[in-house]
Amino acid sequence: MKTIVSFALALSLFLCSAHATVDDALSFALQAAQPYVKEGFTVREDYWGGDLPVKQPKAIVQQLFKGNEYWFWMGTDVASAKLSVHVYDAEGKLAEAEYWRNKPHMAAARVVPKVSGSYYLIVEIEKSPLERTHWSLAYGFR
């Protein structure tokens, strides 16, 4: 009985902790977005997220529209982790107009699409003390 209770407690702590880290990663992504909201960017409620090992990039396909300007904001709850997000067009050419990284918890990229269509968002944990690092990616447009 004692073992079952201990296991249940450990499991619930693990689940709470995992949930909290995803939420924290998103809160850092949204924190990164804040200054741009004042510049007229609308931040989407939907977002991407998960956990990744170091130096194993993940690709996300996303539809972007010519005539809009987009910012993609990536966040993590791990302060010492280094992140990056970059945007490529359907042919694999680098499409972003600017990007920044090397700020604790955050990285971002801006794109002004030259054509409407599919784009690849490449997210990566460049450095982290953890085996897998929670991340989240939000975006906004104007």
Partner 1 sequence: MIKRSSTARPAPRKNDSPPHPPRAVTPATAWMLPVLCAAFLGPVCFAQGEPPRSIDVGSLPATVVDEVVVPVPTEVFGVLDKLGSPNWHEVLRPVKTENPGKRPQVALLLGATIAEGFIAVEAQEAEEVKKIGRQVLSLSKAIGVQKSVISRTSSIIEAADKKDWQTIRQEFDGASKDVKQAMIELKDAQLAQLVSLGGWLRGTEALTQVVGKNYSKDGAELLHQPAILDYFQRKVDGLNPRLKENAVVKKIARRLPELHTLIEPAGGVSPQKVEKIHSITAELVKTISSQD
The H-or-E segment that residue 46 falls in is none
Stretch that binds partner 1, among 4-12, 15-23, 64-72, 128-136 (CB under 8 A): 64-72
Whole-number Å distance between alpha carbons of 91 and 57: 18
- Is 126:76 a contact under the CB 8 Å cutoff? no
- Is residue 19 a contact point for partner 1 (CB under 8 A)? no
Shortest distance in whole angstroms from residue 11 CB to partner 1:
19
Which is nearest to 135 in space by CA: 96, 100, 95, 108? 108
Tell which one of 24, 27, 51, 58 touches partner 1 (CB under 8 A): 58
Minimum separation from the CB atom of position 59 to partner 1 (A) = 5
Q: Could you tell me which stretch among 13-21, 22-30, 107-115, 128-136 binds partner 1 (CB under 8 A)?
A: 107-115
What six digits make up the tokens of 42? 């609308």
Contact between 73 and 32 (Cβ < 8 Å): yes
Position 2 contacts partner 1 (CB under 8 A): no
CA pair distance 89, 110, nearest whole angstrom: 13
Q: Is the CB of residue 122 less than 8 Å from the CB of residue 85?
A: yes
First to last CA, the chain: 57
Among 124, 133, 134, 135, binds partner 1 (CB under 8 A): 124
- Name which position in 42, 77, 80, 134 contacts partner 1 (CB under 8 A): 42
- Please give the residue ranges that form the binding site for partner 1 (CB under 8 A): 32, 35, 42, 44-48, 50, 55, 57-63, 65-68, 84, 86, 88, 90-94, 96-103, 106, 108-109, 112, 114-118, 120, 122, 124, 126-127, 139, 141-142
